[in-house]
Amino acid sequence: MSLTVVGSVAFDAVETPSAKRDRMLGGAATHFALAASFFDHVNVVGVVGDDFSAEDEAVLTAHKIDTTDIEHVAGGKTFFWSGRYHDNMNSRDTLDTQLNVFETFEPKLSEASKNAETLFLANIVPAIQLSVLEQCEQATFTAVDSMDLWINIAKDDLLKVIAKVDCIILNDEEIEMLTGEGTIVSAARALLEMGPSIVVAKQGKYGAGVITKEGSFWVPAFPLHEVSDPTGAGDSFAGGFVGYIAAHPERPITLEVLRRAMAYGTAVASFNVEEFGTERVARLTGPEIIERVKELAAITQFDGDQPITLRR
């Protein structure tokens, strides 16, 4: 089995209330691929400039991630983003965005990437997502991420993408913004009518939910004593979630598989925020993920069938 992700490979500069990094490896495709590589073979499709070194690429290839389809543009500079997090670590200000080679990104997919059974379209221009979808006819599970910018300026193209994918992953505000509904549940139900069979609502430090026509499942974020850097947490979550589904190719996907996928996505994301950028996930091990999933299960389970006499 194999999984293809199309999206940004970037450098980030991040400042939090306690520390900062002036340059570190980032990008949606990078964070997603590292997380998903624990579950399946991953092909990354992206673009970088001359400043993207062999050492940077080795962060991916050390996890047996296929970087054949990362295009290297001679004389170009890699996408760069800079941000500062507020004290609550759940909101941030963008200080600088330099698209560089990413501005003219036209994904070039090898046959291996085109023929992957699972496809994840990270947060890029919806028209590009649509083009990639049309090339990946063999995929049995397709998922997409997006953001408020595309809802505002490219909604028609985004709706075309949504109509063709199996799963859409957005944060709660984006789901409500896209549908015009006032609650996550009603907004997710509206999205299910647009084409996908699975909606994942990310809620940052509060957790996430998965909604289908058969039911829903909600999981809290894993409780941590300290959060160093939330950058890439959503993409790491998506990598764990989609990676788990890719490793379980039975179709249709059951709600039980989705429950476990949510748990694994949550676990990987919790490691991501413990350190800056890719630092923690790059040295993460499978047994650590499994142990954290067990901890997550222990703190979220209870017996709801125990009888009790209520006063009224």
Q: What is the pLDDT of residues 264-278, one digit of tens each?
A: 999 999 999 999 999
In the block, tokens 């397709």 appear at 142
pLDDT tens digit string along 76-115? Answer: 999 999 999 999 888 899 999 999 999 999 999 999 999 9
Structural domains in the chain, sorted by start: 2-300 (3.40.1190.20)
Residuewise pLDDT in 10s, the chain (312 residues): 899 999 999 999 999 998 999 999 999 999 999 999 999 999 999 999 999 999 999 999 999 999 999 999 999 999 999 999 999 888 899 999 999 999 999 999 999 999 999 999 999 999 999 999 999 999 999 999 999 999 999 999 999 999 999 999 999 999 999 999 999 999 999 999 999 999 999 999 999 999 999 999 999 999 999 999 999 999 999 999 999 999 999 999 999 999 999 999 999 999 999 999 999 999 999 999 999 999 999 999 988 888 888 998
Q: For residue 98, what is the enclosing H or E element? A: strand 92-98
State the pairing for strand pair 10-15/20-26: antiparallel
